[in-house]
Amino acid sequence: MNKNTFTLTNNQDGKSYEYEILQGTRGPSVVDLRSFFPDTGLFTYDPGFTSTASCTSTITFIDGVKGELRYRGIPIETLAKDHNYMETCYLLLNNKLPSKDDLYHFDLEIRHRAFLHEGLRNLFNSFPDNAHPMATLSAAVTALSTFYDDHITCTTDEEYQEMARRIIAKIPTVAAFAYRHSLGIPFIQPDIDLGFTKNFLTMMRAYPGGKMHLCANGHEEIKEVEVRALDTIFTLHADHEQNASTTVVRGVASTGAHPYVAISSGISALWGRAHGGANESVIAQLEYIGSIENVEAFIERAKDPNDDFKLMGFGHRVYKNFDPRAKILKALQDELREELNLDTELMAIARRIEEIALNDDYFISRHLYPNIDFYTGIILTALQIPKSMFTPIFVIGRTVGWITQWIEFKKDATSKIARPRQLYTGD
């Protein structure tokens, strides 16, 4: 037999079963257990799916031990340094980086699709002013499916691309409108003369008539370093393999639901504090610590097994080395501090926590390195973005990953409806 196999023996009846080992191009191989239940009458038990591959994919690869992240085979460091978010979106959707002409037409299409149907704009008035932007964003994206019902029958590459580009373009507008509704201030329409990231910042900051909000650091214009910083954050968030929200998107896709409903479900999953909401929790904790003089006491609390206090923004479910996205953002944070002359108390607290944790054996031995959430919150604060918008910004970056995963699932002829089994322990 040429193929590699894995043999399981049931000690109760002495029967043995062989299963093929499937080889990937990177990462661990997997045991193909699709016939395990018909063969044995048994289920596998894997809470949290920590040892289970739920699909095959060609989109994103992570090596948590090495601290490696690649989109379509390209290291995240290369994308963050040499390419912008629009190029990254094109890469994920088309499995190749765009030519200059490809990028021009892709970017132009995204700009023109950023406007919302006037009927959808009216939806925001039905929400209370104090609604969290994530709740509004999820509801509005579900409502978006009613305006583009035909996307539920996507079958061709052209239809997939139209559907994907439309949602990628509209999510920043929906997020900005959700934020401005929460403040009770007028919406700012997209500007087709502005690129993706600068357009979003403008919809967040501008006032009617073209005036810009005067930021705390004293400048009105949106600086290039701010656009570059937020664009990098979008790129780093674009996809992250089979995480919780992506698994939700694929699960909803398996039911045949509208793609925008699947995206809305992903938004709801991302909102959780153990997932995308973690960056909001980091800033809340830094504010709670309050002063650089208090840092060491809180570090000791984090190390105390009898204390429930946990240091937010450290460690990762997958990465057992330094999160490669965090390395990129650490350098970006230092650049922001220099170029925007920012040196706030929160940044000082964060730097002191980072300094202690990176040199303390307690954190090093447990692989508790600063993760992307630790730096994202600091940078977004430096960009004068409120905590309530941290997770919506994660959504803006991640939408392309979700929709690419949705398309990959729909194109896979072997895909089935998601239906995990259980170990029943009730009466």
Active-site residue set? 316, 373
The strands making up 16-22's β-sheet, listed across from edge to edge, are 5-9, 16-22, 30-31
Residues with Cβ within 8 Å of residue 33, at least 6 apart in sequence = 19, 44
Residues with Cβ within 8 Å of residue 9, at least 6 apart in sequence = 15, 16, 17
What is the residue-wise DSSP string for 184-206?
T-------TTS-HHHHHHHHHHB
Q: Are 270 and 398 in contact (CB under 8 A)?
A: yes
Q: How far is CA 244 from the centre of its chain?
A: 10
How many angstroms separate the CA atoms of 199 and 127, rounded?
24
CA torsion 84-89-95-97 (nearest 10°) is: -30
Q: Are 170 and 116 in contact (CB under 8 A)?
A: yes
E strand residue ranges, 23-163: 30-31, 60-63, 68-71, 74-75
Phi, then psi, of 50 in degrees rounded to 5: -70, -20
Phi, then psi, of 56 in degrees rounded to 5: -100, 150
Phi, then psi, of 304 in degrees rounded to 5: -80, 115
Amino acid in the structure at residue 414:
T
Q: Which residues of 70-101 are buried (b: 16+ CB within 10 A; e: fewer)?
A: bbbebebeebbeebbbbbbbbbbbeeebbeee
